Amino acid sequence: MRSPPEPKAMAKALRAALQARQIAITHAAALEIVAAQHGCADWNVLVAAGGASPAGGIHFNQTCPVMRIFDEALAREFYLGFLGFRLDWEHRFGENFPLYAQVSRAGLTLHLSGHHGDATPGSTVFVRMQGVGAFQQELARKDYKHGKPGVEDEPWGLVMSVTDPFGNRIRFCQEKPNA
């Protein structure tokens, strides 16, 4: 899976494409356009939100938790059916080997592993997100018999917790402004 280009590279490509069409904009204007495409008010907000690396700084692109699974059918039912993730890829070292797979949805990527020693069952993953209320309503409409998550109003945000069939918890949190 190819990663999207960094915002600075996007701004540079935008400016070059416009210049090829005899449309001149400043580099600063290109940065502001890219920030708007990322849903930010301006370039400084995008940088502060972690969407762009400060010049010469360290930037982590993504966190990808590994979730220990024990039953492939139950994992597919929960992650693909109930949570609505898509299967990006799966891998086995050979016949009769455990599954290692990647699932994703709306910017969240998880690895699912049937390998002994990968991850610890019963762990908790905290996921910051937008639209937790809409996500909860979507899940409620599915009427999944093993879970009926609600949204809790906590001081740090609106939180919906789900537990997979293997005891792993995912806490989806929509932060409150000024929390």
Q: In one letter, which amino acid is 104? A: S
Phi/psi region, residue 59 (left: phi>0; alpha: psi -120 to 50; beta: rest), is beta
What's the burial of 41, exposed, middle or buried (CB within 10 Å: 0-12/13-18/19+)? exposed
* List of E strands, 57-168: 66-68, 86-91, 100-105, 108-113, 124-128, 151-154, 157-163
Segment holding 173, helix H or strand E: strand 169-175
Per residue in 128-166, pLDDT (tens digit) is: 999 999 999 999 999 999 999 999 999 999 999 999 999
Domains for the chain: give ranges and CATH numbers. Answer: 7-48 (no CATH), 66-175 (3.10.180.10)
Cα 150 from Cα 147, distance rounded (Å)? 10
* CA 152 from centre of chain: 21
pLDDT of residue 49: 74
pLDDT of residue 2: 46
In the structure, what pLDDT confidence band is assigned to residue 51 with cuts at 50, 70 and 90?
Answer: low
pLDDT of residue 82: 97
Per residue in 72-111, pLDDT (tens digit) is: 999 999 999 999 999 999 999 999 999 999 999 999 999 9
pTM of the predicted model as reported, rounded to 2 decimal places: 0.69
